[in-house]
Each structure stands twice: as C-alpha cells, then as structure tokens.
Structure 1
Amino acid sequence: MFPSLRSGDFVIATRLYISISVNDIILVRHPEYGYIIKRVTQLCLEKGAWLVGDGQRSVSSEQMGWISLDLIDAKVIFSIKRKA
C-alpha cells in the first residue's frame, strides 16, 4: 500500500464496521495471497469488491479478481507511521 502505508507502519482496524465504501482500506483473507491490505475501488453486490494497492509493485487487481465480501476481515480506521 506504499505510499499510503509503509513497511513497519501500524494499522488499527475494526471487524465491527457497518459498511464498506469505495476508497476504504481493508484487510482481506485472500485464498492465494494470505492477509493483504488493499483499497476498495468498486463494489458490486453480486461480485464483491474490486481492490487495488497504492504501490506499483502491488499484486494487481486482475491477478486477484473480484473479492467476495465474506473475505473482508476488517476495515482500517487509523494508521500510525513508523519512526524513520
């Protein structure tokens, strides 16, 4: 998620969210990639969420495909930058 999040940053996330919206940053349990943090760019009730990473080296949306809403583990509500 660089540049929004860097390696070593801390995130505070909640599993008690009411809804997911476009531009939310979420934690997903992906069956192939494990736990990943991505940004929501599209939502579709039938397909789920379309996600992107903010960094160029991120796993692409095309590689992940649509993510079932059941795989969303938490919604990031705050981040703490690591000290340089």
Structure 2
Amino acid sequence: MELILYQRDTCHLCDLALAVLAEARTPEFTSVFIDDDDALEARYGLRVPVFRAADRELELDWPFDADAVRAFLDMG
C-alpha cells in the first residue's frame, strides 16, 4: 500500500496529524510537502493535512483520529 501524507513545512495541524498516524501505528508512509508545488498547492492547499492511499486513490482529510485512520487503512 502506497501511503502519503500531504502537508506543509509550518503547519500545526500537520504536526497533530503525524501524532495521530503514530498513535494508529500507521505503516510506513511518505511525507510530501506541497509548499513549492503549484499543482499540489491547487489540489491540497486548503485541505492539508491529507492522508492518501495512492494505490486505491482514497484520501482522508483532516480532522481524523486514530480510529478513523485504522478504518481508512482497512478499506478497499
């Protein structure tokens, strides 16, 4: 499963999301910072943090908790 967390460099919500992902014992994921990418900024700018299962084209928008992350990972 290819997991991605879209985030910003200075984003307190992104820091909270990282803590939730740790609490949920999320498998390895990639952090992608959208700050310097116009296409990602247009897609995710107001939505970050966004947790994405790229291989299933599913996204989980903030706010989410550990239970929501575990349910998201079990989907599909």
The TM-score normalised by the length of structure 2 is: 0.28
If each structure's helix is expressed as a fraction of its own residues, which one has the higher value? 2
The TM-score normalised by the length of structure 1 is: 0.26
